[in-house]
Amino acid sequence: MDAGDRIRQYIERLRNLYDDIRLWSRGQGLDITREEERLLEQDLGTYSAPALKITCSGKFVASVKPIGANVIGASGRVDIIGRLDKDSLVYLQTGGPGLTIKTSTDGEIIEQSSKPFFKGVTDDGWYRIEEKRLGRARLLDQELFLDLLTEVSDYVADQSAK
């Protein structure tokens, strides 16, 4: 896949993520504004990618910023940045990244085994790596998204709106 295709694929994944965020934000008192970020990646060059600004009653809650399509072990990354902290999401494909070990004798493979880096990567999508040492990844959904907003800011989701 060439650089242009990788950029287009990353931007499409961002748009799908942002559509989900808009849907999950309905009824939560959140306002979503689209912005643009300029990214520079070594193998892809400079390009523009969408970002989001999230507010509640006019107060800044968080921004969702694209970090890049070139990420070791993933097919893209975004950061959710609030006043208190930040967290990252990575785009993983079904099964996720892994390690393959091959044992060979005289150039002939006699044994091969694979081990995924993360448990729980059952579908293509945006994941939060919840426990790096234990290798746990969790697919982003409304509950996790709202929890992340609480973690990075002082926003508290309206539990009755879920």
Q: What is the pLDDT of residues 47-66, one digit of tens each?
A: 999 999 999 999 999 999 99
Question: How many independent structural domains does the chain possess?
Answer: 1
Residues 162 and 149: their CA atoms lie apart, in Å, by 14
pLDDT of 160 reads: 45
Q: Report the predicted TM-score, pTM, of the whole model to 2 decimal places.
A: 0.85
Whether pLDDT at 119 is above 70: yes
pLDDT of 65 reads: 98
Q: What percentage of the chain carries pLDDT values higher than 90?
A: 65
Stronger pLDDT, 162 or 36, i.e. the higher one: 36
Question: How would residue 6 be classed by pLDDT, with cut points 50, 70 and 90?
Answer: very high
Stronger pLDDT, 115 or 44, i.e. the higher one: 44
| Amino acid code (one letter) for 130 | E
- Helix, strand or coil, per DSSP, at residue 160: helix
pLDDT of 162 reads: 46
pLDDT of 22 reads: 97
pLDDT of 148 reads: 96
Strands (E), 1-157: 30-41, 45-56, 59-68, 77-82, 86-92, 98-105, 108-116, 125-131, 136-139
Q: How confident is the model over 67-113, as pLDDT tens digits?
A: 999 888 899 999 999 999 999 999 998 887 777 777 777 777 776 76
Domain encompassing residue 53? 3-161
- In this prediction, residues 34-51 reach a mean pLDDT of 95
Question: How many helices and strands in the chain, by DSSP H and E?
Answer: 2, 9
- In this prediction, residues 136-155 reach a mean pLDDT of 94
